[in-house]
């Protein structure tokens, strides 16, 4: 826990998804909200087919959904959301002439029903 999903439109070729994920993960680690860095699972999906609104101008988006175990205070969730949004804003040079929407959503996962197993655990540095 947590699970971070990043979706971004294909008309943002300057967005490096690997760099984005490492920066987002580092932000989550730095928050102090998670027991171990290996608890953070992130993935990026490039969206090839998309529409933003109905206007003909070129538009794009980057959307982050962070799924967390329930129970965190609203202030903590707001701080996490704002920190992730700040990373998105500074990810790359956004293309001129393209309206890019950046969004972060935090979703509570039911702590009582969440299950997890770790198989083949290795200790870093050994």
At 10-49, the pLDDT tens digits run: 999 999 999 999 999 999 999 999 888 988 999 999 999 9
Q: Is the pLDDT of residue 126 over 50?
A: no
42, 6 Cβ separation under 8 angstroms: yes
Confidence of residue 111 (pLDDT cuts 50, 70, 90): confident
Query: What pLDDT shows up at residue 123?
Result: 59
CA distances (Å), origin 48, targets 20, 38, 51, 70, 73: 18, 30, 10, 32, 36
What is d(CA 62, CA 120) in angstroms, rounded to the nearest whole number?
33
| Residue position matching structure tokens 């490096």 | 16
Q: Which residues, including other chains, have CB under 8 Å from residue 59's CB and lie 6 or more apart? A: 52, 53, 98, 99, 100, 101
The superfamily in CATH containing domain 2-109 is Macrophage Migration Inhibitory Factor (3.30.429.10)
Task: Give the residue from 87, 74, 71 showing the smallest Cα distance to 29.
Answer: 87
As to burial, measured by CB atoms within 10 angstroms (0-12 exposed, 13-18 middle, 19+ buried), residue 29 is middle
Query: What pLDDT shows up at residue 121?
Result: 66
């Amino acid at each position: 826990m947590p699970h971070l999903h990043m979706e971004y439109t294909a008309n943002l070729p300057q967005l490096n998804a690997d760099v984005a994920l490492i920066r987002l993960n580092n932000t989550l680690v730095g928050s102090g909200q998670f027991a171990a860095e290996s608890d953070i699972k992130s993935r990026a999906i490039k969206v090839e087919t998309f529409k933003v609104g109905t206007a003909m101008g070129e538009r794009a988006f980057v959307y982050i959904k962070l799924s967390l175990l329930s129970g965190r205070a609203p202030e903590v969730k707001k701080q996490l959301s704002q920190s992730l949004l700040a990373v998105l804003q500074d990810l790359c040079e956004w293309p001129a002439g393209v309206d890019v929407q950046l969004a972060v959503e935090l979703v509570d996962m039911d702590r009582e029903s969440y299950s997890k197993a770790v198989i083949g655990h290795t200790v870093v540095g050994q």
